[in-house]
Amino acid sequence: MDSSLVPLDKLTKEPYSSILGYPKATRNELSKRVTELKKIGINGISFTGTTTLNNIPVLGKGYVGVVVLSNQGKKTVALKIRRIDSSRSEMGNEAKLLRLANEVDVGPKLLDYSKNFIIMEYLEGKKIIDWIRDLKGKGSVAKLRATIRKVLEDCYNLDKIRLDHGELSHIHKHVIVGNKICIIDFESASVNRRTSNVTSATQSIFIGSGIANFVKKIIKEPNRKKLISSLRKYKNDQSRENFEDVLQVLGL
């Protein structure tokens, strides 16, 4: 990573300024952001990843921020940069919700945050849809079942603390599978609405048209009528017993 690390003093110049202040920032704003990065110990950014912005690779992009690979001291971290055009004026609330998720061992570990940045544990791996697409050979059924079980257990733990992720109906974008299986991106999360993590994730994995098409090629499809019934029961009462019923219907 060190060989491709772009130091802070170069981030205010093109082409990197278009990422630090995405989509477009004033020179003054860019300068203030560099000062802010110094205060939270960031000493450079490495532009790599499967998403491209202005022909520059990054780890990811959302409605609120852009995520890049970075260095905090000698540690490799994921850095989320608040977009200039975001409806959020700061990153504090998202950081607090991520910290709440961390309390039940869900999400990338929150390391630090400031007005315009969140520093998180960097998770190397594939988006779950790509991981499933590439899953082949002996043991693939057991691996897929174990991975889905872990995702749904995390969802249940979020439901327990009344933290709704908000985007798990599009789960293919929000789970990384590598050395660790992890739900990511809490920018749409809330404690002020009814939680639907287990139901949204289950429907996305087994009933939706995207990821479900790959899942059903590897493991047997659950009985849809029984699944919908068990999810409805769980939605009305998010107990462990009802969650276990959902897992049983899914064969997990």
- The pTM for the full model equals 0.92
Please tell me the predicted confidence (pLDDT) of residue 123: 94
How would residue 2 be classed by pLDDT, with cut points 50, 70 and 90?
very low
What are the DSSP calls for 173-212, one per residue? GTEEEESSEEE---TT-BSSS---HHHHHHHHHHTSSSHH
Please tell me the predicted confidence (pLDDT) of residue 139: 85
Q: Is 210's pLDDT higher than 90?
A: no
CB 72 within 8 A of CB 119: yes
Q: What percent of the chain has pLDDT over 90?
A: 92
- 3-class secondary structure, 70: strand
What mean pLDDT comes out for the span 154-181?
96
Please tell me the predicted confidence (pLDDT) of residue 208: 81
Q: Is 1's pLDDT higher than 60?
A: no
Q: Is 150's pLDDT higher than 90?
A: yes
Asked: is 2-121 a CATH 3.30.200 domain? The reply is yes
The pLDDT tens digits of the residues spanning 15-33 come to: 999 999 999 999 999 999 9
What mean pLDDT comes out for the span 58-86?
95
All residues at 6 or more sequence positions from 246 whose CB lies less than 8 Å from its CB, including other chains: 152, 198, 202, 227, 230, 231, 234
Diameter over CA atoms, the chain? 59
The domain locations on the chain are 2-121, 125-250
Fold for the domain defined by 125-250:
Transferase(Phosphotransferase); domain 1 (1.10.510)
All residues at 6 or more sequence positions from 163 whose CB lies less than 8 Å from its CB, including other chains: 97, 100, 101, 189, 190, 191, 195
What mean pLDDT comes out for the span 152-169?
97
The pLDDT tens digits of the residues spanning 90-148 come to: 999 999 999 999 999 999 999 999 999 999 999 999 999 999 999 987 789 999 999 99
- Considering only CA atoms, which of 109, 131, 138, 112 is closest in space to residue 121? 109
What mean pLDDT comes out for the span 43-69?
93
Please tell me the predicted confidence (pLDDT) of residue 89: 94
How would residue 3 be classed by pLDDT, with cut points 50, 70 and 90?
very low
Residue 69's Cβ-side half-sphere holds a number of Cα atoms within 13 Å equal to 19
What mean pLDDT comes out for the span 43-70?
93
